[in-house]
Structure 1
């Protein structure tokens, strides 16, 4: 029988442990808590120009970045609007819901997606991707739409290997990477990896509320933009990266308070250092995996991605026997103030509604005590609900975090 906890146990600050929007630091919230500024001249204009090089440092690029008011889906559409036209064909290798979603958005723009769907429980099959590209003798495929980390399945896909395939085959397709879940969490290096277009958004590793999308692009992508017969006035990145007046940065009124928050978030990232940010996410992910492996030693608990080398450092997709995933999420939120992510787009033949799936978000503004609190909360929920699981999870996580 489940025992109800004292209502006092849900007081205090709640913990949103979903894979975006992520926890917004108090520093960012304070920076945003101000009166509206002058959007025509002065400090805001100067600050915006200063944001650009710091954004490019996060993406590890010397090339251009355009800022859009919108979410990650807006970033998808903006990127495609600049380099693809109706009737163009794109290749979309998919290891989860977001590869399928990007392909669907392409189709809505009149672009023809060729989807290689590897499901939500398997990584990319590089041999199949290579064969598809090799068979494209006349280079009808104009771009490869590649999701670096699929937030639904938590697979981290091999972008450098995809670049190597394109180079080995001398295929001219643009390599376009969705880094919405990965940038600022998992290692990503746009220029070193040969990515032509990279897309991210503000609400995950960048630690800012939802509302900004960023599209980074290199000279090859800029040439593709120049060859387009037309580009939507709003999505066109050319005036945004070389504006003749401030409002052209955003094709209208600036997202003023998001910019203040972004300035503070970028300061936090670069004060820590990108390599240290990646290392922190990697260690916290290993801490979570250690606990999950112990929970999975008995019962139905399992990680969706069995190979640690293919797991994201920002999100972990998990499974219990249905409907225990949904029960666990509901219990820890109601009794502990801890919110876990839903099993977005995840299902199996024996669990068509995905009620066994759930996710941990561990991206952006997270540290050791937050992760241990997350794990302790899940342990409490598993115990309260009598869900079968292995023992020693918290001790295993503590050893990883302690470096033992």
Structure 2
């Protein structure tokens, strides 16, 4: 005897769908433009144990990957790889090629071009966003007018997003190169190839691309966290003249962000790095070398602060280890700070433990 299912009958009457059929069986079809889904062999490789940085097999794999990436984008010049996303590759290109106040032109092609332009402005460059996001190829007339009238060669670079993943519009790489050549302008040519690399032909040498930022999480079907830049000889010469700080950190002072001990949180401490650019480097270093993960700042404190939690399943010895690891990391990066925070934490804990009678309790065990 079959059961009665009035709810299911009502569903079939209203929608024509049999509610007893599971519509979510099978494999999910992930169609987002990035990060893309990983092939099975990539997933299997992720399960392997990490290799030592000096492992000959790892060195050989790195060299082989570097060579094949060059072939993929059509260059035989330098290719630098980073543990970063698209933004890290952008940042590396901008800070290694220019000086504060340099004029850099960005061709507006959509969301990512806008973000690249904004990041340049935040670094102190004179960033110009040219045109509006088109639904086809950008109008070259505006760039032609700029290059023709820039007799003093104040424009140091022209930046173009090859394939705008936000709009599905691809730009012709020859357009900018032809204009630079037509007016004999020495500006560098930067091309974001994040969502075109591995998906459509790119020939950096043919189009005179000086720096080509890319990442692995889209057409290359790799996990997020690998960024790279191709660098021409011309760009390398510009790097040697660039005025941005060539290093991870600037001498500064570390302090608690909260300036009142009575208002200091019992669950998290935010550390402020005055005039520092090394927060991301510090976070990366302590994670890589000490297996300690700290959080970066949020909002307006992003990039100039990091946070340490002391709540949840977290005991005193874990706090001591985190503080000591952060101190070691700052010392390795050359960040100036008053040493001894770990010892101060131990001393304070000891004093509070004694006041709470823990010493007598231990003696009675």
Superposed pair shares fold, TM > 0.5: yes
Q: Is the 8 A contact 1:84 1:228 kept in 2?
A: yes
Q: Which of 231, 238, 242 in structure 2 is aligned with 1:228?
A: 242
Q: Does 1:14 align with 2:28?
A: yes
Q: 2:168 aligns with which of 154, 162, 165?
A: 154
Aligned partner of 2:5 in structure 1 is none
- The 1-side partners of 2:243 and 2:53 are apart by 32
Normalising by structure 1, we get a TM-score of 0.56
Structure having the higher Rg: 2
Contact 1:61–1:190 (CA under 8 A) maintained in structure 2: yes
Distance 1:221 1:13 in 2: 45
**Cα 1:170–1:60, aligned 2, differ >3 Å: closer, same or farther?**
same
SS in 2 for 1:35: coil
Contact 1:39 1:253 in 2 (8 A): no
* 2:215 is the counterpart of 1:195: no
The one of 104, 111, 115 aligned to 2:118: 104
How much has 1:41 moved relative to structure 2? 3.1
TM-aligned CA deviation for residue 96 of structure 1? 0.8
After superposing on structure 2, the runs of 4+ consecutive aligned residues of structure 1 that deviate more than 4 Å are 1-7, 251-255
Residue 77 (1) aligns with residue 91 (2):
yes
Output the CA distance in 1 between the equivalents of 2:287 and 2:81: 10
Q: Are the structure 2 counterparts of residues 130 and 2 from structure 1 closer, same or farther at C-alpha, using a change threshold of 3 Å?
A: farther
* Structure 1 residue ranges without an equivalent (≥5): 236-250, 256-404
Match of 2:228 in 1: 214
1:169 paired to 2:174: no
Q: 2 CA distance for matches of 1:2 and 1:56?
A: 54
Deviation at 1:91, TM superposition (A): 0.8
Q: Aligned partners of 2:84 and 2:69: how far apart in 1?
A: 17
**Displacement after TM superposition at 1:2 (Å):** 5.1
Q: Which residue of structure 1 lines up, in the alignment, with residue 146 of structure 2?
A: 132
Cα gap change, 1:209/1:137 in structure 2, threshold over 3 Å: closer, same or farther?
A: same
Residue 86 (structure 1) aligned with residue 100 (structure 2): yes
* Alpha carbons 2:197, 2:214 under 8 Å: kept: yes
Structure 2 vs 1, CA of residues 48 and 151 (structure 1 numbering), >3 Å: closer, same or farther?
A: same
Residues 292-339 of structure 1 deviation map (CA, whole Å, 9 limit, x = unaligned):
xxxxxxxxxxxxxxxxxxxxxxxxxxxxxxxxxxxxxxxxxxxxxxxx
Number of aligned residue pairs: give it: 240
1:8–1:48: structure 2 CA closer, same or farther, 3 Å change rule?
same
Q: Is residue 35 of structure 2 the alignment partner of residue 27 of structure 1?
A: no
Alignment of 1:305-320 (within 5 A): none
Cα distance in 1 for residues equivalent to 2:134 and 2:23: 36
Tell me, yes or no, if the aligned pair for 2:106 and 2:127 is still in contact at 8 Å: yes
Deviation at 1:216, TM superposition (A): 0.5
Q: What's the CA shift for 1:123?
A: 2.9
What corresponds to 1:304 in structure 2?
none
Alignment of 1:55-70 (within 5 A): 55-70=69-84
The 1:38–1:123 alpha-carbon spacing in structure 2 relative to 1, beyond 3 Å, is same
* 1:220-259 → structure 2 map (5 Å cutoff): 220-234=234-248
The aligned residue for residue 268 of structure 1 is: none
Q: Secondary structure at the match of 1:15?
A: coil
- Conservation of the 8 A alpha-carbon contact between 1:64 and 1:217: yes
Shift of 1:231: 4.0
Equivalence map 1:340-359=2 (5 Å): none
Unaligned runs of 5+ residues in structure 2 are: 1-13, 250-283, 289-365
Q: Which residue of 2 aligns with 1:285?
A: none
Q: Is it true that 1:179 corresponds to 2:176 in the alignment?
A: no
Q: TM-score, normalised by structure 2?
A: 0.62
Aligned partners of 1:232 and 1:175: how far apart in 2?
A: 21
CA distance in 1, matches of 2:18, 2:120: 48
SS at match of 2:22: helix
CA 90–9 in structure 1, closer or farther in 2 if over 3 Å, else same: same
Could you list the per-position Cα deviations for residues 80-138 of structure 1 after superposition, in whole angstroms to 9, with x for gaps in the alignment? 11101110001111121111111000001101111113225353101121112112111
- Shift in Å at residue 70 of structure 1? 1.1
- Structure 1 residue 28, shift from structure 2 partner: 1.1
Q: Give the direction of change, closer, same or farther, for the CA distance of 1:33–1:95 in structure 2 (3 Å limit).
A: same
